[in-house]
Amino acid sequence: MTTFTTEDGTQIYYKDWGTGQPIVFHHGWPLSADDWDAQMLFFLAKGYRVVAHDRRGHGRSTQTAHGNEMDTYAADVAALVAHLQLKDTIHVGHSTGGGEVARYVARYGAGHVAKAVLIGAVPPIMVQSASNPGGLPLDVFDGFRAALVANRAQFYREVPTPFYGYNRDGAEVSEGIKLNWWRQGMMGGAKAHYDCIKAFSETDFTEDLKSIEVPVLLMQGDDDQIVPFADSAQLGINLLKHGTLKVYSGYPHGMCTTHPDVINADLLAFIEA
């Protein structure tokens, strides 16, 4: 496997295919770089260099008991970019990976990043509070933690149904996609996944979004059952200096997998604009 080692001794697995302008893909919780297969193959064929890593504690990377929060996730990305000597890079993040992109670009992106894309992403912040009344109550995320502790394998069998909108009338259910979600989730570490729930739900990315100088595309389905649209992209677009919002009617959270032809074409158009 292709890995590099961070300063704290964590081994980060990554894929690095092709040449040309690099596109770095950041996966959602609790998945891995494999969740980007449809995008990586598409952009590789278009002449881009495609890179995707397994976040610490996820997939084939070290099952860390520490550093499972956004500051360290972003620092790991910075280390990966330095390791691969990437320049003029486009960063594409889905869900939790969108938060990772926002934090990385805000803190480390100057001079390295050309554009960014956040897809069904968690910024500005998911959890409900006095300043974010439209967020999800904390007990929703406490429920995630309880389900993970009680029976992670069963919990991960259940999440793909709303994730891909398979509970909607007329949905074409793919058992293979559901099983692949479960496979990726179970590859990672329970402690890291438990910690990451706090990272994706309680991290406030408001100032990150405000500080980003490069063009950012926000993409989200209006039937996203995991990251509610009204409290994510609809708010985030107002915080960006150079933001574009594209909303997909009826699309689910996992639309990169359920509708790759549409998403890939729109990503390409933004990147090449």
The residue from 26, 91, 112, 253 that is catalytic is 253
Q: Would you state the pLDDT for residue 1?
A: 77
Q: The tokens of 35 are what?
A: 């969740």
For residue 207, the enclosing domain spans: 3-126+135-272
Whether 253 is a known active-site residue: answer: yes
Phi, psi (rounded to 5 degrees) for 92 = -120, 120
Taking only the tens place, the pLDDT of each residue in 200-243 is 999 999 999 999 999 999 999 999 999 999 999 999 999 999 99
Q: What is the CATH number of the domain that holds 81?
A: 3.40.50.1820
Q: Would you state the pLDDT for residue 182?
A: 98
Q: Would you state the pLDDT for residue 210?
A: 98
pLDDT band at 176 (very low <50, low <70, confident <90, very high): very high
Q: The tokens of 64 are what?
A: 């860390």
What is the domain count for the chain?
A: 1
Taking only the tens place, the pLDDT of each residue in 248-271 is 999 999 999 999 999 999 999 999
Taking only the tens place, the pLDDT of each residue in 3-16 is 999 999 999 999 99
Taking only the tens place, the pLDDT of each residue in 20-38 is 999 999 999 999 999 999 9
The residue from 193, 224, 231, 232 that is catalytic is 224
Phi, psi (rounded to 5 degrees) for 210 = -65, -30
Alpha-carbon distance 22 to 269, whole Å?
Answer: 16
Q: Give, as one character, the DSSP assignment of residue 24.
A: E
The residue from 32, 61, 95, 232 that is catalytic is 95
In the numeric block, the tokens 């040449």 are attached to: 19
Share of residues in the chain with pLDDT > 70 (%): 100
How big is the CA angle at 30 (ends 127 and 184), to the nearest 5 degrees?
160
Q: Is pLDDT at 168 greater than 80 in this prediction? A: yes
Q: Give, as one character, the DSSP assignment of residue 65.
A: S
